[in-house]
């Protein structure tokens, strides 16, 4: 794959993810993509009043779903899963 094809493929994947999240329903609130950090990305999603972050670490090739822990003065998160195919199912269960 040529270098300029990686961002195109990323946004194809994000389109599919957005369509899956719409069926929950869940609202995408923020998204970041960085080609220069091995294609890493992070998407913030709101579902039933809870904030979640879907994070892809391009260097480690890991995906995880973090849930914001309310009531904490410092930003913390709870690692919910590490397989992208489980993310929508996990959000659906919330």
| Sequence ranges of the domains in the chain | 5-93
What pLDDT score does 80 carry? 63
In the chain, which stretches have pLDDT less than 70? 71-85
pLDDT digits (tens, 9 = 90+) for 45-56: 999 999 999 999
What pLDDT score does 85 carry? 65
**Total Cβ atoms within 10 A of residue 30:** 11
| C-alpha neighbours within 13 Å on the C-beta side of residue 27 | 6
What pLDDT score does 86 carry? 76
Model confidence, pTM: 0.78
What pLDDT score does 87 carry? 79
CA 41, CA 46: separation in Å to the nearest integer?
Answer: 17
Secondary structure element (H or E) that encloses residue 9, with its range: helix 5-22
């Amino acid at each position: 794959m040529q270098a300029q094809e990686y961002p195109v493929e990323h946004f194809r994947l994000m389109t599919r993810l957005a369509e899956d999240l719409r069926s929950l329903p869940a609202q995408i609130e923020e998204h970041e993509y960085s080609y220069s950090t091995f294609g890493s990305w992070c998407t913030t999603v709101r579902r039933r009043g809870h904030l979640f972050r879907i994070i892809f670490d391009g260097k480690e090739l890991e995906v995880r779903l973090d849930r914001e822990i309310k009531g904490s003065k410092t930003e913390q998160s709870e690692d919910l899963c590490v397989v992208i195919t489980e993310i929508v199912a996990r959000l659906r269960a919330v």
